[in-house]
Structure 1
Amino acid sequence: MERSEQLLLDVWREACRHIELSESAANIANLVRNDLPLEMLLVRQFDFSSRSVKTLAVGRSSPSALGLGADNVASVAKWERLIAWASTGKVSRTPANRRSGEMGLVVPKTLEGEALAGPLRGAGDPVGVLVATAPLNRAITDRDVRLFEMLIEPFSVALENHLRMHELSHLREIADSEKRKLLKRLGKPDQPEEVIVGAESGLRRVLDRVNLVASSDVPVLILGETGTGKEVVSRAIHARSNRHEGPFIRVNCGAIPPDLIDSQLFGHERGSFTGADAARQGWFERADGGTLFLDEIGELPPAAQVRLLRVLQDSFIERIGGQHPIRVDVRIVAATHRDLPSMVRAAAFREDLWYRINVFPLTMPPLRDRPEDIPKLVRHFAARAAQRFGLPTVEPSSDDMLVMIAYRWPGNIRELAAVIDRAVILGEGTRLDIRTALGGWSNESTPPATPSDEPTFYEVIPESLPPRSIPTTQSPANLGEPLSLNDAIRQHIEQVLRRVHGKIEGPQGAADLLQVNPHTLRAKMRKLKIDWDAFRR
């Protein structure tokens, strides 16, 4: 198979494999970086209601500045020209810093370098655009254009699936909210608490902390990689709280267009803007007496962060076009896969809002750190998929389990559930076709994700460690046998901690001297069972 054909096959696999568009964009950018000069790869959506183009997903081969939000199109005429270009399906190319016409509308002004833009279509109509920029010292060639054109159709499918999924999710949240309100009026109990696979093993520590915080009304911030089960844990907090009879409302902050955030969160009065034909309750009002789960809170634009902060401070909202404040009694549970402290330092997330939501943080472990839960999860999702698809329930074989445990699961539980769905369908009720569902991956091949000691997230409230006395330093020369690598790392870290008296962050702190991120250092010390408090004076 030629290189281009294999690359296209891999791109299609990544485009269809992930539920989250951001995961597909990041993985595809990584796949093509040796063939296509990429400084940045953006998937952008056309918002016809506000005549704007907003960024939904970013794939980059190198770090870049934040702030790739919506670009408001200046006029109806420009918008019509943009849609006319998108309807042609033709890729456009422009030199660095000389963008006009449709390229001036779809390429964010903060991006430099030569750029390519290709329309993304759904059901025949343009729904967005794929944008790629090259490094400043690299010119785009005709070969680059041909390779970029190969990406258009896979990304069109990925974007269309993304939009449909979020539309269904939005409708589900509305229906769920109305159902809970009706059950509350009728005095009937809601559904029992969702079964959490791994509650007695890989998630035991997390659920112990859930039990600690559930009965209070303090805000909870759930941190974790995409697909680790943050929503399941948020529902567990609600189900175990005094608000369990009230509504549980989930809002995906990253899926709401910037121009509609106020209306979605706080509601609006009739006639408050064009198209507001009736008054509408926002999510805060719908969640009154219950729990509001703000998923992907790191995606909120700065203006919305200010208004959210005010609600958290005084518990009053005001609808768009309204003249009277409305008091709401809502418990906030927020979640994100982003590094919020880094966003605070970059002024992309408000520091005061960070302090408000980060009262009690919970960190979700990735699935690769919970191998003992994989067999239970496989059986759980296999039984669920068989019921949904009307097929006999099939037990996974021991070989299936070995393959599943050896795989690194970059998409965590969400990816595992999708793989099991495919395996059930491919097995046609007689077996689980795990290897085909994984795209031919086996534990003899190179895993798609490399394990790392660096945490994707951090814990602001450290887990309790058993009290330890400050250890004495031992020289390898005084030992009968060579130190293991972990012992050598432990001794080196303890030596630095002793020198700085347990100080982790700031100038001349342990992280500064070791030239590592403070969160990375804390995670390493937790893994090595180093109690840094014991070194403080």
Structure 2
Amino acid sequence: MPEPDRTSTILTAAWREAARHEPLAVTLPRIAELLASTVRAEQLVVRHLDRDRGRLTTVAAAALRPAAAPWPLVTSELSPDDLVTLGAWARQPTPAVLDGTADRRARLLGPVGDAAECLAAPLGDGDGPTGVFALASRARGRFDDAAAALAAAMAAPLGTALAGDLRLQEFARLREALEADRAALLQRLDRVAVVDSIVGADSGLRHVIARVDQVAPTDAPVLLFGETGSGKEVVARAIHQRSRRASGPIVRVNCGALPAGLLDSELFGHERGSFTGAVSARKGWFERADGGTLFLDEVAELPLDAQVRLLRILQDGTFERVGGQRSLNVDVRIVAATHRDLADMVRRGSFREDLWYRISVFPIDIPPLRARPQDVAALASHFAARAGVRLGGAPLALAPEDVALLARYDWPGNVRELAAVVERAAILGDGRRLRIDLALGRADGTGTRERGAALPVPEDIAPLDEAIRRHVVSALRATGGRIEGKDGAAMLLGINPHTLRARMRKLGIDWSRFRDASTYHGERP
């Protein structure tokens, strides 16, 4: 039984630790050391109760005895009945001694491992319970009234320590969100093609925006289809901004730009020392997007092994960092995008069918700019105004002849190309006017292709098969129809004789027409 002075000393030291504003994983081992000489238990654990999500998560655990096995850091999913049971127990004013094998509350507070008994007490604030702490013992009968009184007194400093840990986590999430937004803004400014509003929402993109409004309030995964430069990232950001996650981060990952050897580290993070160069722990993109939206751009470029790991996290929201030994949970909404035909890739086996079904719950097709010509003028005006401010301090306006020139072009590069052309026109006009004619290369009568116009074909360019046929015939003439050997046409053309024969059959070339009677003696051509 702890003496009154000893109890006061423990509580004073515990409050000192709780007031350090350090992560609970750092503070709890020091508090466990304070209790080790007084309480006969093996483990001290603190768990956070998330009532909105119905989860009980182990925030930190510490051993009171050197030989005690570490308590696993896990998350328990709670049913509505479980929440009622825990809520009723949390309203009790005193700690409870729970049977580790028979008491349902002990199993809910667990995992208790091989603990025979737990001395548990709720942690909370003025708004209700925020968590629980428990002392676990392998033997029964160790927790007397004095231990219960000490546990009741420890609830206050441990509750403060838990609240501080949750604030630190929230600050970290906010910092990650700000860093992600900053990186995204810098990236978009570097491209000089910033599109914050959706131009064409009431015209060419009307049906797209209608589908965005349908899916945004949900957490369903969204798959965006569209050509390069058609505005997939703008639509992804619109989905995020119209969702309940708008206050959280939106993180864009270009799957096609991730190095194969670092893909796991980039997506899931790594622990310190997990590989050469890992001098510190690092959060991956999934952790950085926790509570928000992860935009997987060019998702079709992921290799198959990465698709397997992505599927797992989409299924249960858990993953492990590279070199880590504990499972982490994230709450992330997935928006993916591609310009490829994923259905065809599934048929060819280059994209997993189960991942395809997982990410394509709500597909949205974004039409190319040539399919919505009514938006060209509005988009160009939008880019012109921005370009003028950046270059000359005043918005620039399009002349009617500029609109006519832009309308005749078919925009294979879509909105991104249009933004580049307008920016180039503003630069060519010294920031004071737009030179769309020069930007499109029209001032000297030459330039980019107009809508529906055919590319000019020089008269001396033959179809590829005909050019190959002429080249093979020339080689056969030079070698007298001989194919193999050091003086044969295959050697002259630098290809395998079998390949040459197959090509000749395809092109309908008869080698015997080129046979030189003076050198041919019946050997194989």
> TM-score by structure 1 length?
0.48
Bigger Cα Rg? 2
> TM-score by structure 2 length?
0.49
